[in-house]
Chains A and B, each alone.
Chain A
């Protein structure tokens, strides 16, 4: 009778890493569907390119590093899909491929692979494209436009032409923007799914959105001409970033206290960029900046042992 010998505990929770990653993919289904609905074949094309390049790159890297392939853990799919959802609909195919390559190669594997990367790989890919193709990455198209009619995003319109997009359109997602960021409704649905299934911790979304609300309330109080709280919440990449990038376990603080700091800091920085910088939107840079601060936050927010 051959018996297994192992260390306790002998029971394990069902949720392993592949399960967690798969749940993120599931939570992204509404946003993905919205992107396909609004941007049609462009969305399908970019999502397909990003996911397949991401999987292929990951596979080759595991071959080179002679490590057992973890393609089955869905993390490469999450990275590819998230990157695709942050791209403008008119992104060219070569840019999408380069961005994904950069995300997986530099963002993830140069740092050691799953679990050891400092920055969110999808956002690193996007930041790379922003530097490499600034024009392409800031040229947005109208939803449903087959012949790519360029248009400004609601945040740009508000910032540079002082014209406000109706909140209803923002909520549904019938506005110009990156593929997966336009429909607040679909992102919130997916985000709530993550929170309810306890895949993502609620502390970062709460503190991030909370600080955005507080800062925009103050701004509106100081100057009536500033856009409303709801406008700031629903526009740009805020919700997508909050629910799917700022909650990435690898690149965010470990302790609950640290997560509050991370979220609140991100929220404030996003609003600072939106109000004071030359850019209309700052979600990507804010999250990347706080990713880099995560080790420091971890260091100063250890959990206090019970009774000590």
Chain B
């Protein structure tokens, strides 16, 4: 665990904006963990806002919906931050945004029906990994603790914080719904100490029993990175340890991100699929860092063309995601995906580092939240001793980047781990 300068000021204190009239949308068929969705629209088809355009394909997969009333102009490979290029639906928006009415019989829905809605509305985990939520909420084991993750431990990003500031009641309603599905004994709302104002509000809700959430309590954790990592968060809140090869449900826990809870609320109450999300746009290359509600599929290019964002000088590095785990992009053609929490535009803060010899100081070992020995991976990958990587549990690595952050020799340890993981898999 490391303490990193937060860089969240000032955008975390600025009210979020909304941008809902894009011209074109690019929707890759894979925006989630698991199998890509299968396209169910012909080229040239007219679609309504919220209409299904790519169907869930297999158990671990998710549906994709049209974020706006539009025409499908093309189905072609397009820029994707994780895969380079990925088959995508290109939509030309033709209609105004739809308004959503509140469903009347929410209280009468059975857990199975709720789960069905979540599945059909294409909800995925919005903290980054984009794991299909309907799978996570149907655990094969008993769950006693539901943890709501509001940590947002990545520096710069503040989308979750803004969401909690502006839509806390809706998030809590979403948590209520999730509780009806998984029936936990206890619900822990986990926040970092830079968000204690939110914690106070939730404690108030809890004391007046505003929501029907069993055993709701807040835990305010120290702002360290990666506090919001699933395994670290479960340990910090419940003292239960999960090894690299186990899942949260093995210790009776489920972790849900606050944005996912909000998406569940919208899906059930408003019948609205996951077509929009709050995204942080930050970094020193932006004139005005801010949080914006954008439709899924909106490209960065369009946000700059429409003057929603503007550069303060030439950016040197553009990152999809946070500074610690994000992926660098090579142009502005990349779209916002379901799991995109933010984009980072760096100018002065983008630095190039040259790798120096390892001085075996052990700082990487000291900070590793999974108690691994990252320096060994770098050494083994360099010497191509791939067979020994598993001895040192390379697969337990969550690639949080603490080791490479702290390394005084500027060794790109995460890069070596990613390379090593590929070969370690091939070896077995």
Contact = CB atoms under 8 A, between A and B. Distances in A.
Interface of A: 1, 3-13, 15-17, 19-20, 70, 73, 113-116, 201, 249-250, 253-256, 259, 302-308
Contacts, number: 153
A27 to B, nearest CB: 16
B122 interface: no
A9 B408 contact: no
Interface of B: 2, 4, 155, 231, 235, 241-244, 246, 314-319, 323-332, 344, 346, 349-353, 356-362, 365-366, 368-373, 375, 392-393, 396, 399, 401, 404-410, 412, 414-415, 418
Secondary structure of the A contact surface, majority rule: loop
Contacts of B344: 10
A282 to B, nearest CB: 25
B360 A305 contact: no
Contacts of A6: 317, 328, 352, 412
Contact of B356 (A12, A15, A73, A254): A73
A306 B351 contact: no
Contacts of B316: 3-4
A1 B351 contact: no
B317 A10 contact: yes
Contacts of A302: 373, 392
B243 A306 contact: yes
B352 A12 contact: no
B350 A4 contact: yes
Given A10-B350, A12-B353, A250-B359, A303 B372 contact: yes
Nearest to A255: B365
A19 B410 CA distance: 12
B405 A4 contact: no
B410 A115 contact: no
A13 B403 CA distance: 10
A261 to B, nearest CB: 13
Given A7-B415, A116-B357, A306 B323 contact: no
A270 B2 CA distance: 36
A256 to B, nearest CB: 7
A100 to B, nearest CB: 21
Contacts of B396: 305-306, 308
Given A9-B401, A10-B324, 14 more contacts: A4-B317, A8-B326, A9-B323, A11-B4, A11-B349, A16-B409, A17-B356, A114-B359, A249-B361, A250-B361, A305-B243, A305-B372, A306-B242, A306-B371
